[in-house]
A and B are shown apart, each in its own frame.
Chain A
Amino acid sequence: MFPFPFIWLTSRLNLRSSLWRGGIITLILTLFLAIFDPTVEFLPNTELGMIGVIALIASWGGLRTVLLSIVPIIIYFVYLTLTTPTVSVWEVGLTLAILGTVGILIGQKTDQDLAQINKLKTTKTQLEQQLVISIQTLAQANQKVLQDLNEHQLNKDQLQMAQARLQHLIKSSPVVIYSSPTSGHECITFISDNVQSVLGYESQKFADTGFWATHIHPEDACRIFAEFPRVFEQGKYSYEYRFLHGDGTYHWIQDELRLVTDPQGKPLEIVGYWIDINARKQAQFALEESETRYRTLAQRLHSITSNTPIYIYELDRKGRILFANRTPENVNQEQVLGSLLIDWFPPEKQPNITQIIEQVFTTGQVQSLEYVIPNSTGEIRAYTAQLAPIWMNSIFNSVVFIATDISEYKQAEQTLQRHALIFEQIYDGVIMTDLTGRIIDWNPGAERMFGYSRSEVVGQTSALVHYPEQTPIPTQAMLEQIKEQGYWLSEMSFIRENKTQGICDTIVVPIFDHQGETVAVIGVYHDISDRKQAELELQQYRDHLEHLVDQRTSQLENTNAKLQREIEARAILAEELLASEARLAGILDNANDAIISVNENHQIILFNKGAEKIFGYQSEEVLGQALNLLLPRRFSATHSEQIKTFGKQSQTARNMGENREISGRRQNGQEFPAEASISRLRLGNTITYTAILRDISERVAVLKERQQAETALRESEQRYATLAEVSPVGIFRSDAAGNCLYVNERWCQIAGLSLEQSLGQGWIQTLHQDDRDRVIQSWKQALYDRCSFQLEYRFQRTDGMITWVFGQAVAETDIKGEIKGFVGSITDINDRKQAEATLQESERRWRSLLENVHLAVVGLNDQGIIDYVNPFFLELTGYTQTELLGQDWFTTFLQASQRSPVYQYFQEFLKQQLHSYYQNTILTKSGEEKIIAWNNTRLQSLQGDALGTMSIGEDITERYAIERIKNEFISVVSHELRTPLTAIHGALNLLSTGLVAPESSRGQHVINIAAESTERLVRLVNDILELERLECGRIKLVKHCVNAAQLLRVAQDQMQVMANRTGIKLEILPQDLEFEADGDRMIQVLTNLMSNAIKFSDSGSTIKLSVEAEWRTFDGETPMASVLFCIRDQGRGIPPEKMESIFERFQQVDASDSRQKGGTGLGLAICRSIVEQHGGIIWVESVLDQESCFYFSIPVKISEENYHEQ
């Protein structure tokens, strides 16, 4: 146990491995001791302690440490043993502890030292190695350095040589070499010594910062500083600028810069050289100046000469063109310069030019020449040329050749020559005068004409020839006209030198100067004196002739006048004659009657147009013919006799055929009756008989017609009268005013008036008072509208009888179209009217039936379109009449699936009326379905075609609904019955077939099942029957006074067991309320409701029953005292939509739920039945998932009405 404190101690010093080591050693030692010391008891602590310490020390530093530290331990122990025989454990312990610690520490230190020494040793070895390597490396490097050094030395030698060369070069050249840092020449690092001679400064000066910069000419300084950086871009650069020379002047220098870079491209320094270019510069400037001057001059010259048609060439001695100011067309400078001038000339001219050029060079004088040369278009142009030497520095080496185009001039010259010729040659006189009239020029013609010679008149005024005015030519008038027209043209008289006169044609034209002003005039005078004379003589002759002519003319006029008068007189006579002839002809032509004249020989001499028309002959045909031609043959003999007779008579005219008819014969042989008169005319010896004849055949015919018409009219009047008498229709005639003129017998019968009574306005009496106005109005309307009158109205006869009549009248109009009266009829329509009334009445009755019957009546046409619906149907379906009429039945009322079969039935039905009974479902406007049983009738026209159908339908929806409910009920009930039966049947079957032994437990179980199911079945059947009986009222309620509290208690007792079973609490709040009821039934209701409550409540919940008195109105009558029961549960509640329906049969909130709990689904129905039989009401209020409250209220006193008895 002892070493362990030490071990713990050491553990504090964080030396775990050593700890383990120490521990182990301790153990070993202990064991060792134990082996050799078999006694169980421990050695004196000293030994053990020692062992522990040793172990500890060993654990630390190993054996070394132990040995080291063991000496003092032993010494101390010896001392202890000698001095103190008994040693307390603690002393020993403490001592050992101290010693141990000390030992440990020493050991530790030693160890550490040793460790360090080791470390150092390793380090030392490492270093030694490194050192060796370093020495090797160093040796190598040294080697390399030596090599480099050698090389370097070589280079240096070379460099020195180069430098020496350079120095020499620099010294001797006029180029100043310098170097400067890259910053610029601000500070020149090196400059060659020859700067002294070149720029006049010592080289040291340039070392000064800014020296160079400040010596640049101010004007160039900016440029230089700006451009300097370019050397860095390009590696070299040069520029020129002025630098202040030592002598005080500015010298132009060229500065060449070179950029020196290291191998990487980094700029090191700039080296450059300067050259004094002053002289060059100056020369340059001078040259530039002269060049500019020269250029300006040349330009000016060029501008002058290029626009003039002057060719200026500079030719050398050989005649080569050195300069040309312009080139011929289509020729350019290159072609011209250097070529020989003479080459440009035609061969014949060439030698001439050469000669002249030579002359110029030899004599130094100006020469001129003229030549012609074709230009580019082939036109010959004339030129005059001047050749002159060009002096340059007192010698001339070239000649200037100046050629001017003188073609126009030449032409002008020629024209002028021509004009001069004309001037001389012309026959007429031509005088040129100035504007004042002074003669400038006078041609030979003028000399001839006027007699003056040229020399005599030049300078004189032209007035001397002007006669008689003696005004100078041009006169003011002339000048004006010239200004207007450009010339003056007229005849003029003149006077010659020999004082004879003459006349001339003169034209004066202006002469213009180059500005267009008239400066002179030229007159051309053409002598026409002789002509004039001749003209004069001619005129005289003419005058004489005219005189003679006049004489003759007047004579003729007289004769003419006389003749004219005679003619006029004759003309008048002729006119009169013509007029009378015309009159006669007119008569003859226009007369419709035939006018025939015959001569003594009975030959027709006159046959007018009328005769032509009547007889059909043309006059030419009959003239000269015998008169007999125109007569019927049988008369011809007698006729001629008659004429003869007539001829002898004294009277000159008489009618023919006084006693009998006369007939004529036309060309076509037709005979016609005629009237005629004859007359005799004696003209000298001739006798003319003239007959005037008229064709009266028309007249005769007309007469005959009229006779016929009269007969016909008489006959029809007869007929009419007869008809009127026998007609069954009353006929009347009236005038336009409505006055009756005639009525027939029948009319009188109908109206009950006699004819006399009816006449005039009398007939109006018979009209029914109420209709009078209507009739009169209608009458007037018909008059106004000019249409027929039609109206139904009544007669009221004198005997009181009222007859309905239908009156029609038509207007009679005269020739002019005016209404002169009416003719009409009246028909007795009394019977018809009655029939109408009857029909209306029956229709009304039928209609009322249709309107009011509680059946749907629908009429469809043959297309299935609704044409009639009765009000009941509209009510049933919710539509209005307007919505339905005209709609398609099938699409409006039938489901899509139904339409086809129903429509098919409809079609079949229309064809032949079979099975008129049909049932289908229709949709109301709101989409509700109604089942209708239809009874259909086919409507047909007289021909038997189907017009449509008429259907009467009964709403059997209710019935069906009821049917459906019944079916459902049966279905549910049958299921309900079958379920327990299954169990019973199955159970008994098992037992009876011996499959299950009755005595076995299984058997017992089966029997139980059967028994339970039987009970259930019984309950169900009972409930059903009971409900049925209740519903039908077959159950008698035994009513007596009951106590509400009592009822509650009894009910509670009955349900307690069930409630307990399901862990539900029943609470009642009874009140002593007395009322009349069948107690048992009340309890039945309560238990039923409670049973439901229990079924639908969860375990642990409470069902509360309470009762209270109240006033309630049942059946909407006066409020009655009643007792209100409430059964409240905390179950799952009833949804609002089910709150009514749960009181129906087999209606459960969740159908299968209650059954599981043993319900029949009839409970609430039974309750309701009972309550209602007591005159009360039952209902439920519920909150879903929270609670339900079933209420029923029973009137305290059951009144007579509410008491339901069998």
Chain B
Amino acid sequence: MNNKRILVIDDEDGVRDIIQITLEAVAGWDVMTASGGQEGLEMAIAQQPDAILLDVMMPNLDGPATFKQLQTHSPTQNIPTIFLTAKAKSSEQQEYANLGVSGIIIKPFEAQNLVDQIRGFLGWGI
């Protein structure tokens, strides 16, 4: 079970699928997906992935709120989390960074680029 397992939480079906396919194709990681914050939280607690990619703009439980929830649950406290956002404003980015996530990735992204960024933020080697 050497393979990294990543949980992708994004409400946009298309984006989510693309990410999944990208990560599987490029890095060969095991990708789990959730379409909402609540679902993602439950899945994270149950599956304990090695990392979480978390979309910021989601209905009901948005990215930051989901992240906070992850922090309060002991199984998921230490799972490194990366935000995905389309918002390019640096002030907003700074806000997200202050929450304590491992990294922020801006949409849109290229496949290889996405993987590299993730690797970079989490310190996973090739």
Task: State the A residues within 8 Å of B (CB).
Answer: 971, 974-975, 978-987, 989-990, 993, 995-996, 1002, 1005-1006, 1009-1010, 1012-1013, 1150-1153, 1155-1156
**Which residue among B19, B59, B88, B112 has the maximum number of chain A CB atoms within 10 Å of its CB?**
B59
A981 to B106, CA, bound (A): 12
Contact A974 B110 (CB under 8 A): no
Q: Which of B11, B59, B89, B111 contacts A986 (CB 8 A)?
A: B111
A978-B86, A981-B107 known; A1012-B14 Cβ under 8 A: yes
Residue B62, interface by CB 8 Å: yes
A1155 cross-chain contacts in B, Cβ below 8 A: 59
A301 to B22, CA, bound (A): 149
Minimal beta-carbon separation of B105 from chain A (angstroms): 10
A-B complex: 3 closest residue pairs judged by Cβ atoms:
A978-B86, A983-B14, A982-B107
Contact A979 B12 (CB under 8 A): yes
What are 5 A-B residue pairs whose CB atoms fall within 8 Å in the complex? A985-B110, A993-B112, A995-B111, A1005-B17, A1150-B59
A979 cross-chain contacts in B, Cβ below 8 A: 12, 15, 57, 86, 107
Nearest to B19 among chain A residues (CB) is: A986
Minimal beta-carbon separation of B114 from chain A (angstroms): 8
A978-B108, A1152-B11 known; A996-B57 Cβ under 8 A: no
Contact B17 A1152 (CB under 8 A): no
A986-B108, A993-B111 known; A1009-B18 Cβ under 8 A: yes
A971 to B26, CA, bound (A): 31
Within 8 A of A (CB), among B66-120: 86-89, 107-112, 114
Residue B58, interface by CB 8 Å: yes
Contact A987 B86 (CB under 8 A): no
Residue B31, interface by CB 8 Å: no
Q: Which of A974, A980, A1152 contacts B88 (CB 8 A)?
A: A974
Contact A1006 B57 (CB under 8 A): no
Minimal beta-carbon separation of B102 from chain A (angstroms): 20
Contact B59 A1156 (CB under 8 A): yes
Contact A975 B87 (CB under 8 A): yes
A983 cross-chain contacts in B, Cβ below 8 A: 12, 14-15, 17-18
A716 to B37, CA, bound (A): 113
Nearest to B84 among chain A residues (CB) is: A982
Q: Which of B21, B107, B108 contacts A1006 (CB 8 A)?
A: B21
A975-B87, A1009-B18 known; A982-B25 Cβ under 8 A: no
A971-B87, A971-B89 known; A1009-B14 Cβ under 8 A: yes
Contact A975 B86 (CB under 8 A): yes
Contact A1152 B21 (CB under 8 A): no
A752 to B29, CA, bound (A): 116
Contact A980 B21 (CB under 8 A): no
B13 cross-chain contacts in A, Cβ below 8 A: 1009
Contact A982 B18 (CB under 8 A): yes
Minimal beta-carbon separation of A797 from chain B (angstroms): 80
Q: Which of A982, A986, A1152 contacts B86 (CB 8 A)?
A: A982
Contact A990 B21 (CB under 8 A): yes
Contact A981 B108 (CB under 8 A): yes
B87 cross-chain contacts in A, Cβ below 8 A: 971, 974-975
A974 cross-chain contacts in B, Cβ below 8 A: 86-88
Q: Which of B15, B21, B26, B112 contacts A1005 (CB 8 A)?
A: B21
B109 cross-chain contacts in A, Cβ below 8 A: 982, 985-986
B26 cross-chain contacts in A, Cβ below 8 A: 995
Extra inter-chain contacts (16) besides given A975-B87, A979-B107, A982-B107, CB under 8 Å: A978-B86, A980-B14, A982-B12, A982-B15, A982-B86, A982-B108, A983-B18, A986-B19, A987-B18, A990-B22, A995-B111, A996-B25, A1009-B17, A1152-B57, A1152-B58, A1156-B59
Contact B18 A986 (CB under 8 A): yes
A981-B108, A986-B111 known; A1152-B62 Cβ under 8 A: yes
Contact B14 A978 (CB under 8 A): no
Contact B111 A1006 (CB under 8 A): no
A971 to B90, CA, bound (A): 12
Contact B59 A1152 (CB under 8 A): yes
Minimal beta-carbon separation of A168 from chain B (angstroms): 115
B60 cross-chain contacts in A, Cβ below 8 A: 1152
A985 to B19, CA, bound (A): 11
A985 to B112, CA, bound (A): 12
B108 cross-chain contacts in A, Cβ below 8 A: 978, 981-982, 984-986
Contact A996 B86 (CB under 8 A): no
Q: Which of B15, B57, B110 contacts A975 (CB 8 A)?
A: B57
